[in-house]
Amino acid sequence: MTPLERLGLLALHRLDPETAHALSIRVLNAGLAPTPGPVTSTRLATNLAGLSLPNPVGLAAGFDKNAVAVNRLTRAGFGFIEVGAATPRPQEGNARPRLYRLTEDCAVINRFGFNNEGAEAITARLAARQRGPVPVGLNLGANKDSADRAADFGRVLALAGPHVDFATVNVSSPNTERLRDLQGKAALTALLTGVLAVRDTLALRIPVFVKIAPDLDAAGLEDIAEAALASGIDGIIATNTTLSREGLRSPHSTQAGGLSGAPLFELSTRVLARVSMLTEGRLPLVGVGGISNAEQAYAKIRVGASAVQLYSGLVYGGLSLAADIARGLDALVQRDGFASVADAVGTGRNDWL
Close Cβ partners of 350 (under 8 Å, ≥ 6 residues apart)? none
- Select which of 24, 52, 146, 173 is catalytic: 173
The neighbour count for residue 162, using CB atoms within 10 Å, is: 14
317 contacts 1 by C-beta, under 8 angstroms: yes
Beta bridge partners of 212: 238
The neighbour count for residue 325, using CB atoms within 10 Å, is: 28
Which string of DSSP letters, residue by residue, matches 129-151? SPP-SS-EEEEE---TT-S-HHH
Torsion of CA 53, 106, 65, 237, to 10 degrees: 50
**How much of the chain is helix, strand and coil, in % rounded to 5?**
40, 15, 40
Known active-site residue 173: yes
Backbone angles phi, psi at 23, to 5 degrees: -65, -35
Torsion of CA 123, 128, 130, 132, to 10 degrees: 40
The neighbour count for residue 90, using CB atoms within 10 Å, is: 16
Largest CA distance in the chain: 53
Q: Which residues belong to the active site? A: 173
